[in-house]
Chains A and B, each alone.
Chain A
Amino acid sequence: MNLLYSQDEESLRDSLRALLRSRAGSPDDGFDAQVWRLLAAELGVTGLIVPEKLGGAGASLREAALVMEELGRFLTPVPYLGCAVMAVTALRVAGDTTVLSRIADGSACAALAVPFAGPGGDVRVTGGTLTGRVASVADALAADVLLVPAGDELYEVAADGPGVTRTPVVSLDVTRPLVDLTLSAAPGRSIGPAQPALGAARTAGAALLASEQLGVAEWCLDSTVEYARTRIQFGRPIGSFQAIKHRLADVWVSVTQARAVARFAAGAVSGVELDGAEPRLAAALAQAHCGPVAVRAAEECVQLHGGIGFTWEHPAHLYLKRAKTTSVALGTAAAHRGELAGLLGLTPAGTP
């Protein structure tokens, strides 16, 4: 499998950077509606993996992974993972066409109504309507459409429709806010069986989250290197002290590895089958490796920036919060190691 970036991917990266750099603002609201519109209108990336016949670009998850990298690097507060990756994957597996077309033309944003970390919510179907609660849902604040698993089915629910309440929670990562969702007799349209759709969305999400983590880690490394080059103490740039150089060299090594792993995961989930052993293995490997790499890079970023790194003004804390959040969301590294052990037949202690 080719682990390099193609020329098309590099030019997509250039366009993304140009757009995102011009929009680097305060992420405090957790959603930048204008940049989300630009991403849809100018680059069409919200519909990147939507099939062409539904108005999308028909690209693969490899290209979407590249978008994740850049959104991670700029910490852009948009629901790309939840909508353009996970919801689109779920809708494709469920066989939906209407919501997909609306995502592709930028007129709708969808989110999966599942907790960002941990097991599913608790929603029941009664008399054709949905009732229940799902806590800590990511990317739902900006959504027009909620994809709600209830019973064995996946339902389409209008996010601002009757019986739907979204309560923002104070989340660790302010650039990717969470909401608690309450449904009381909310009308829903069944669009297919829930399990395959959610499983595929989870595999794709975990695999591509690694690219976001790579972008986060790269930003942390680059900005720390830049700081270490210019910050003078004891009459020398602090970057000339070996205690600092070696730590940054180690971060570079792990980021270099994260790049190879993230590219591998993106390639592995770009085929048609997302429930096979290989995509699942690649996704679990990616989360077991890249989550901790991003956390470490962000922690070193705060530490090596000294006092400035501990302030609210400096963006390091935003990256730290994003890195830690993503290393728990969609499964911790330990959980993914457990998944890997199962896939590889490396059984735990106490089993024959």
Chain B
Amino acid sequence: MTDVRELVRAFRASAPTDDPVAFLRARFDAGLAWVHYPAGLGGLGLPREQQAIVDEELAGTPSNDPRRIGIGLGMAAPTLLRHGTAAQKRRFLRPLWTGEELWCQLFSEPGAGSDLAGLATRAVRDGDGWRITGQKVWTSMAHRARWAILLARTDPDLPKHRGLTYFVCDMTAPGVDVRPLRQLTGEAEFNEVFLTDVFLPDDLRLGAVGEGWAVARTTLMNERVSIGGGALPRGGGLIGVLTALWTGRPDVRTAAAHDEMMRLWVAAEAARLTGVRARQQLAAGDPGPEGSAVKLAFAELAQRITGLELELRGADGLRHDDWTMRRGEAVDFEGRSPTYRWLRAKGTSIEGGTSEILRNIIAERVLGLPAEPRTDTTVPWRELPR
């Protein structure tokens, strides 16, 4: 078996040091980007847990900032790996991982959020490509993205899950119009995206025509793992912010708050260990449904922890840091004011599948309970009420 630690040390000794991007490219080419990916695509085909050794050995070297490239890393990459052609993998994975090209997700539409398969954006054949027309919404990072994963309808006469096709969208193509959509924190991490007769060559199609839903399910499963699955130390993240406040400010302490804080500490540690276990299962080759549990728990916790923090701070807690309309780059849970944290946490139970939808998925796919009676899965999409 390959000794990863030695490989990394050898790489470190010879890697370019002058330019961060050159370093990241070399790291990718050495197979040390994501070791569980195949050789030639930034990996070495090793068990996923070996990545920890690589990251440990390369601490302090130029980073691609996983938060900034989160959508590419967490959603686009695993989907490309599973469903992309050899050429697509070669074209997209390296600049995705180095952070030279950012990605966004053109899934949700004004009329299709939870019911994603109901979407209306059309893709129509045009010679050796496709013409895309429609409106997407709540699209995080579209204003920075070079590429997007895009789900569009290719056949409105089929039932809704069967008429969808998955594309990679060129965000610089004529007809792509990105407009900021301000959110309740005051800034704009997300956008409205208008697609007007956008031409995409057929080699930007991912998977077969009409198979878009199957491809999208890969994306959605990985989205849940990546939202819930960040590796935190014990007592880190939002619970760390709360306990630091407690330790540093004896004046805010009350008996009731103490018990609530300890409940949250226990819940946070349980959620964290569940995430650790989910990643160990993934590394052992058995992904399991734990990702949904982690995502649901994280969303609820983030809201309760930030809510308690605001209460503890009293009047001081009510001072917001900045309402200026800004184009956000990433979620900043720890860097900004308690009010920002509390407001932004309200999005955690909506983005990436609402908590209600996750409960449906758990109940039906994990526990095997019967689906709700439905009328929308067998009739042509065209005939559905919208």
Contacts and interface: CB of A to CB of B under 8 A. Distances in A.
Interface string B289-312: 010110011000000000000000
B253 A225 contact: no
Per DSSP, chain B at the interface is: helix
B247 A248 contact: no
B146 interface: no
Interface stretch (B7-15, B105-113, B212-220, B258-266): B258-266
B257 A240 contact: no
A214 B44 CA distance: 38
Contacts of A263: 273, 277
B59 interface: no
Given A236-B370, A249-B367, A337-B266, A349 B280 contact: no
B259 A249 contact: no
Contact of A344 (B235, B364, B370, B372): B235
Contacts of A2: 280
B314 interface: no
B379 interface: no
Given A237-B370, A253-B296, A344-B265, A350 B253 contact: yes
B369 A245 contact: yes
B266 A249 contact: no
Contacts of B297: 253, 257
Interface in B341-363: 356, 358-360, 362-363
Given A288-B266, A349-B257, A3 B369 contact: no
Contacts of B265: 337, 340, 344, 346
A327 to B, nearest CB: 14
A4 B369 contact: no
A260 B276 contact: yes
Contacts of B358: 249
B373 interface: yes
Interface string A87-128: 000000000000000000000000000000000000000000
Contact of B360 (A242, A253, A288, A349): A242
Contacts of A348: 253, 255, 258
Interface in A307-352: 334, 337-338, 340-341, 344-352
Contact of B367 (A4, A252, A334): A252
B356 to A, nearest CB: 7
A259 interface: yes
B367 A248 contact: yes
B28 interface: no
Given A252-B293, A352-B250, A229 B258 contact: no
Interface string A238-270: 011010111011101100111111011000000
Contact of B368 (A225, A264, A337): A225
B243 interface: yes
A262 to B, nearest CB: 10
B281 interface: yes
B296 A3 contact: no
A194 interface: no
Contacts of A4: 277, 280-281, 284
Contacts of B259: 334, 337
B266 A340 contact: yes
A62 interface: no
A4 B274 CA distance: 11
A226 B66 CA distance: 42
B187 interface: no
Contacts of B370: 229, 236-237, 239-240
Given A252-B367, A346-B243, A346-B247, A259 B360 contact: no
A244 B247 CA distance: 41
B269 interface: yes
Contacts of B266: 285, 288-289, 337, 340
B258 A289 contact: no
Nearest to A258: B270
A115 to B, nearest CB: 25
Contacts of B257: 349
Nearest to A352: B250
Nearest to B254: A349
Contacts of B173: none
A65 interface: no
Contact of A257 (B255, B274, B360): B274
A228 interface: yes
B274 A349 contact: no
B271 to A, nearest CB: 6
B42 to A, nearest CB: 27
A2 B283 CA distance: 11
B289 to A, nearest CB: 8
B1 interface: no
Contact of A248 (B258, B261, B363): B363
Contacts of B86: none
Given A3-B277, A348-B255, A253 B261 contact: no
A351 B250 CA distance: 7
A349 B273 contact: no
Contacts of A239: 363, 369-370
B267 to A, nearest CB: 8
A312 to B, nearest CB: 27
Contact of B293 (A248, A257, A351): A257
B277 A246 contact: no
Given A252-B362, A257-B274, A285-B266, 8 more contacts: A3-B273, A229-B369, A236-B370, A242-B360, A257-B297, A260-B276, A350-B253, A352-B250
Ranked 3 nearest A-B pairs via Cβ: A245-B363, A239-B369, A249-B359
12 contacts: A3-B273, A4-B280, A239-B369, A240-B370, A245-B363, A248-B367, A252-B367, A257-B297, A259-B277, A285-B266, A285-B270, A344-B265
Interface of B: 235, 243, 246-247, 250, 253-255, 257-259, 261-263, 265-267, 269-271, 273-274, 276-277, 280-281, 284, 290, 292-293, 296-297, 356, 358-360, 362-364, 366-373
